[in-house]
Structure 1
Amino acid sequence: MMTYPIDMTTRPKVDGFFDEATNTISYIIQDPASDHCAIIDSVMDIDYAAGRITYDHADKLIEEVRRRGLTLDWIIETHVHADHLSAAPYIQEKLGGKIGIGAEIVTVQDTFGKVFNEGTEFQRDGSQFDALFSDGDIYEIGSMTAFAIHTPGHTPACMTHVIGDAAFVGDTLFMPDGGSARADFPGGDAGVLYDSIQKVLALPDAMRLFMCHDYGPNGRDIAWETTVAEEKAHNIHVGGGTTRAAFVKMREERDATLAVPKLILPSLQVNMRAGEVPTDAEGNPVLKVPVNGI
């Protein structure tokens, strides 16, 4: 079993930025001992019907980093999102930093390269990213040591990033009253997702957990921070000792009722390219709509 370098004595400053259009939370994580930081799960705005891309959400992150005089070391994607587009290259152009994602991005690229008929010019080796993380890989944010845990199930490339006493779980978990993410995308698997959730719940009880999405179930206010202890005790899908078999049954039955995410087609095309919008032969940005392709 992998041993991870957990350091609960380091408490990074974490600021969440909620994007109402996609229910996504992006984060700025600052090293408490320096002016270095990372950004996790940024959002690029899109009016899909109009074919218009803007950067209001990303500009808020950039403005805050500049206001605080921070140096951006990393722009992290917890996975290839199917519900929003990444602003990673836009932020990198403005602030620098390296773009990182899980090493299994190559599996996602191979799958959706075929779906979108991308041809041989689309590289399926993850080379669009500056770093590919495998389970247990370590990286630095200023004086902080961060590490990645491979937590597939929602997608093959999902990673949980642990930075001091804070863990960023992507779509592996939601808030306790939100449960867990779907596992019916290509490469997803409900049993594998359960196993990944157990990795997260094996972290110290006091570990802060930060969600990638929140939908305010039952009308409550949007929230994105909880703890391992809270998830173990109260998560409606896996809390209280839910068995693997019970979770898989629930998850597969629930997933069969869910609609396809509204932005899945543009999101996958952009995010598997590290946030770059694909172009046609003349270099114009374009997005494909494969019929019956997913």
Structure 2
Amino acid sequence: MKIHERPDAVVASLYDRKTGSFQYVVSDPRTRMAAVIDPVLDFDEKTAATSTGNADRLLEYIAGERLDVAWVLDTHPHADHFSAAPYMAEKLGAPTAIGAKVVEVQKLWKDIYGLEDFAADGSQWDRLFADGEAFDIGGIPVRVMFSPGHTLASISYLAGSSAFVHDTLMMPDAGSSRADFPGGDARLLYRSIHALLDLPPDTALFVGHDYGKDGREPACVATVAEHRASNIHVRDGIDEAHYVATREQRDATLPLPTLMLYALQVNIRGGRLPEPDAAGRVYFRIPANRFSKK
């Protein structure tokens, strides 16, 4: 767990090395109110077993700091890890939330998985946030920014002087996240990124993934000014056409995330496993030959 002191908040980041994912607890040091953002539920694809190591480390931090968690927040349905939002919400007694456009992702993957009885209405979360909607974490004002491109439903949480952007951006030396998943769009992603880069220069952008490019230690935060100066995909002077060509060329070389076909059927359910059968057994449904091998 690493602690990032901001002028108006304390941000704790926890890195999951297996999936390259960052998860966050953002808190108001004055009121001790907090929110959890994109917690990870551990999954072993060899045994199809889930566990709560990451989530429990977040809970230990929250208990140790005597924080009162107001929200458990998802930025979008993740393709590379399971969401631990339901587990965290149960342990903390806090509501869950995601962007309202999640229903479009649910409809898309409902068809891919052939889930005839699945409710693609966002009811798996306690709250669906619209673009521009506002709420507070103690004394920290939060604004929801619709950030499509990586997925149809991606949102960013602008919490005071920090923004939690997950897969919209990566660290400056890594650029941006892919836009080739079903519902992704490189042009929309470029525009979403530039909405973030129009924030004040000292705004801290906390990303969702890093893989330690060229052997450096994984990192999770850079300012708007740093991205505008040096982000390899979207620094100042790179226009939309150049970005789209670069992003689409790069995406064409990428394999699917290892856990994608497992993760999305869990994450469109808000982080819950598929419903058990009459005997209490839980099964994953994997569509054969739906995605070309890269």
| TM-score, scaled relative to structure 2 | 0.95
Write the distance in 1 (CA, Å) between the matches of 2:44 and 2:168. 27
Q: Deviations over 1:95-119 (max 9, x none)?
A: 1111111111000000000111111
Decide which of 239, 247, 261 is 1:265's aligned counterpart.
Answer: 261
Structure 2 equivalent of residue 213 of structure 1? 209
The SS at the match of 2:71 is strand
Structure 2 equivalent of residue 278 of structure 1? 274
Could you list the runs of 5+ residues in structure 2 that have no partner in the other structure?
A: 1-5
Decide which of 177, 202, 219 is 1:181's aligned counterpart.
Answer: 177
The SS at the match of 2:13 is strand
- Structure 2 matches for 1:72-87, cutoff 5 A? 72-87=69-84
Write the distance in 1 (CA, Å) between the matches of 2:211 and 2:125. 29
Structure 2 equivalent of residue 25 of structure 1? 22
Structure 1 equivalent of residue 3 of structure 2? none
Report how far residue 153 of structure 1 moved. Answer: 0.3
Write the distance in 1 (CA, Å) between the matches of 2:245 and 2:47. 40
- Structure 2 matches for 1:220-259, cutoff 5 A? 220-259=216-255
The SS at the match of 1:239 is coil
Structure 1 equivalent of residue 158 of structure 2? 162
The SS at the match of 1:175 is coil
Equivalent position amino acid for 2:175 in 1:
G
| TM-score, scaled relative to structure 1 | 0.95
Consecutive aligned runs of 4 or more in structure 1 exceeding 6 Å deviation: none
- Contact 2:37/2:74 (CA < 8 Å) preserved in 1? yes
Write the distance in 2 (CA, Å) between the matches of 1:32 and 1:228. 24
Q: Deviations over 1:106-156 (max 9, x none)?
A: 000000001111112x11010101111111011121222211100100001
Indicate whether 1:290 and 2:292 are aligned. no
RMSD, matched Cα = 1.1
Could you list the runs of 5+ residues in structure 1 that have no partner in the other structure?
A: 1-8
The SS at the match of 2:166 is coil
Q: In percent, how many aligned pairs have the same letter?
A: 44
The SS at the match of 2:23 is strand
Report how far residue 10 of structure 1 moved. Answer: 5.7
